[in-house]
Structure 1
């Protein structure tokens, strides 16, 4: 087991250095076998004092001009581009973009007012001063699947995929 970005998993799978990966879509899975894709609705993490924090459901356009905290593009290039396109297409043009991958660092940036962060509903309680709100665009989800090379597949890959998807469903993926 290794914690790897989507891009790293795809590269290692194709180099036959990894048996199975769990990837976020959209990504390039050409030539790979894939499990069922599961989805989890996205929302936004905001400082409690943000103008949109009091809304039960946030429209992306209400974030227009706010800075955005997002994972670095090299982690999942197609997903990164998809996220920025979805923001743009729904009226949210970030005033600035800051990159962060560590959740604690992300939370620090958001808490400091340095950005809003699109993410799935947190599994644990957020630090004081932060709120998560669902976004009004329900089609905008994290989509995850297990992938493997057909030549490396078989029972081990499908068993891992089934176990991983069962775990994802337990925490709210559908």
Structure 2
């Protein structure tokens, strides 16, 4: 049988005697008689193999060991008193940790408002945020390395049975183009035929197949076959390449919030093409913190 260390009650007795410097006053404070308290302190000293108090007929003083132990004991007892409230907070999803990954487009639209709302409601939850493409997020999620992710669908068929998905935001695509190539203000719609000779900067299809296909559909609907000039996996990089005059890009409307010198964002004059972003998590693996986060996502999605 293991040798268990002294329990909290013994340390509580020690702290009372140490603070009162008197067994009688400490016993009264603890609502007990003095003999059991004296016995408990003796028992604690035997277990530790050291004397904690120097006793005389008129006074009780801490030994050097007792003096050194007291600050740590007081911290221990304070932490123990907080445990019931902490347990309740954990059960309600009010404290803990949430590991969330997100695609780069979320950073310019839904993510800031989502984090603000969650932070206001659950300030004690520690968020661990990671930017990653949808395919990386799904692999990390299945492996148990993150709790949830904001992705561009679809889910890979092999993981549909393992993951839950909640649509959150659908937004139209706009054209990001070099300001030098734009002949009108950025609120004036543009037809893709007007920029058919400019290279297209785009996500690799393997990383965001639905997004990639939506962009290709935009072009095919107007009878244009785009020339893909560059591929990039981050929206910031795509917009930077547009700013550098490397081509044009179809991006979610929320990217208008990413202001970059030399870039204008113009709505499309044809069609109503949208890109969707949603939350994904493991089925049957929903802790209290994640459940609280999902509830906020549902509320924002229905607003």
Query: Per the alignment, do residues 123 and 110 of structure 1 end up closer, same or farther by CA in structure 2, a change over 3 Å counting?
Result: closer
Equivalence for 1:3: 131
Q: Which runs of structure 2 are paired with 1:76-95 in the superposition (5 Å)?
A: 76-95=208-227
**Deviating more after overlay: 53-62 vs 112-121:** 53-62
Match of 1:42, SS state, is strand
RMSD: 3.0
- Helix, strand or coil at the partner of 1:73: coil
Distance 2:132 2:166 in 1: 18
Contact 2:214 2:273 (8 Å CA) reproduced: no
After TM superposition, the score normalised by the length of structure 2 is 0.48
Partner of 2:142: 14
TM-score by length of 1: 0.77
Contact 1:38 1:165 in 2 (8 A): no
Task: Check 1:100–1:33 CA distance in 2 against 1; reply closer, same or farther (3 A cut).
Answer: same
Deviation at 1:145, TM superposition (A): 0.8
* 1:134 Cα deviation from its structure 2 partner: 1.3
Which residue number corresponds to residue 113 of structure 1? 245
1:24 corresponds to: 152
State the secondary structure of the residue aligned to 1:131.
strand
Measured against aligned partners, the alpha-carbon deviations of 1:134-173 in whole angstroms (never above 9, x if no partner) come to: 1234531120110112121354334323445667x7xxxx
Query: Across the two proteins, how many residue pairs are aligned to each other?
Result: 170
Cα distance, 1:133–1:85 mapped onto 2, change above 3 Å: same
Match of 1:61, SS state, is helix
1:158–1:60: structure 2 CA closer, same or farther, 3 Å change rule? farther
| Kept after mapping to 2: 8 A contact 1:68/1:95 | yes
- How much does 1:17 deviate? 2.5
Out of 252, 267, 271, the residue aligned to residue 134 of structure 1 is 267
Higher gyration radius (CA): 2
Q: Is there any run of 5+ residues in structure 1 with no aligned partner, and where?
A: none
Which stretch shifts more, 17-26 or 77-86? Answer: 77-86
1:37 alignment partner, one of 168, 171, 176? 168
> Is residue 53–residue 131 contact of structure 1 (8 Å, CA) maintained in 2?
no
**Cα offset for 1:126?**
2.3
Q: Counting helix residues as a fraction of each chain, which structure ranks higher?
A: 2
- Mapped to 2, the partners of 1:123 and 1:82 lie a distance apart of 19
Provide the C-alpha distance between the structure 1 equivalents of 2:222 and 2:284, rounded to a whole number of angstroms: 41
User: What is residue 71 of structure 1 aligned with on the other side?
Assistant: 203
**Which residue does the alignment assign to 2:23?**
none
How many Å apart are 1:124 and its aligned residue? 3.1
